[in-house]
């Protein structure tokens, strides 16, 4: 109890994971530029932060290949997936090796020279403003420089280990 918080019950981590599996979330692909090309991951922990300036929060596990590329002022591409893009989510969620992930889906070059997914619900081109380490993750604040949205609202939703 040295950190001022009560002791965590032994079963709390498992109960917390079970609770979070019940939280439905939209799926996105987050992309940054690596030395050998773009690196992307599937993510469900993205939320709007503010409209002035336009910004989002992204939570990224520090063990991912993407994390080392996330530094202030680095460009970031966020692609909010449509319901028919579960194959893209599976590829970027670990279904394919990093170097083959961009072979799934139709990608074009965006404003920040990062891949932008065609047919996505929305594409956000961002720059990282700040980061905060917390537990196993980093909370990334990304300022949105450009947003492209599709006409149809039909997001890919992830819940309890599957897509809805």
Of 24, 42, 154, give the one whose Cα is nearest residue 93. 42
* Range of the structural domain that residue 147 is part of: 26-163
8 A C-beta contact, residue 103 and residue 71:
no
Per the domain annotation, does 128 fall within a domain?
A: yes
Number of domains in the chain: 1
Return d(Cα 164, Cα 65) in angstroms, integer. Answer: 27
Per the domain annotation, does 37 fall within a domain?
A: yes
Sign of CA dihedral 40, 44, 45, 51: positive
Express each pLDDT in 123-164 by its tens digit. 999 999 999 999 999 999 999 999 999 999 999 999 998 998
Per the domain annotation, does 15 fall within a domain?
A: no
CA angle, 112 as apex, 107 and 116 as ends, to 5°? 20
Confidence of residue 1 (pLDDT cuts 50, 70, 90): very low
8 A C-beta contact, residue 93 and residue 86:
no
pTM > 0.85: yes or no: yes
Per the domain annotation, does 63 fall within a domain?
A: yes
102 phi, psi to nearest 5 deg: -75, 0
Instruction: Give the CA radius of gyration of the chain.
Output: 16
Distances (CA, A) of 40 to 1, 50, 74, 99: 38, 24, 14, 10
Per the domain annotation, does 11 fall within a domain?
A: no
What pLDDT score does 2 carry?
Answer: 55
Return d(Cα 13, Cα 95) in angstroms, integer. Answer: 25
Express each pLDDT in 3-12 by its tens digit. 778 888 999 9
Per the domain annotation, does 47 fall within a domain?
A: yes
Answer whether residue 39 shows pLDDT above 70.
yes
CATH number for the domain including 42?
2.30.110.10
8 A C-beta contact, residue 120 and residue 105:
no
8 A C-beta contact, residue 142 and residue 129:
yes
Query: In the beta sheet, which residues pair with residue 124?
Result: 78, 147
Per the domain annotation, does 152 fall within a domain?
A: yes
Per the domain annotation, does 136 fall within a domain?
A: yes
What pLDDT score does 8 carry?
Answer: 86
């Amino acid at each position: 109890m040295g950190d001022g918080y009560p002791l965590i019950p032994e079963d709390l981590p498992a109960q917390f994971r079970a609770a979070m599996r019940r939280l439905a979330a939209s799926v996105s692909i987050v992309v940054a530029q690596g030395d050998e090309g773009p690196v992307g991951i599937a993510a469900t922990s993205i939320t709007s932060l503010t409209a002035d300036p336009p910004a989002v929060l992204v939570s990224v596990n520090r063990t991912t290949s993407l994390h080392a590329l996330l530094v202030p002022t680095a460009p970031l591409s966020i692609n909010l997936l449509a319901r028919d893009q579960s194959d893209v989510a599976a590829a970027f969620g670990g279904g394919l090796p990093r170097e083959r992930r961009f072979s799934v889906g139709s990608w074009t070059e965006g404003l920040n020279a990062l891949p932008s997914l065609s047919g996505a619900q929305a594409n956000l081109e961002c720059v990282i403003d700040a980061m905060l380490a917390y537990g196993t993750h980093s909370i990334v604040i990304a300022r949105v420089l450009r947003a492209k949205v599709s006409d149809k609202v039909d997001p890919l939703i992830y819940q309890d280990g599957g897509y809805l």
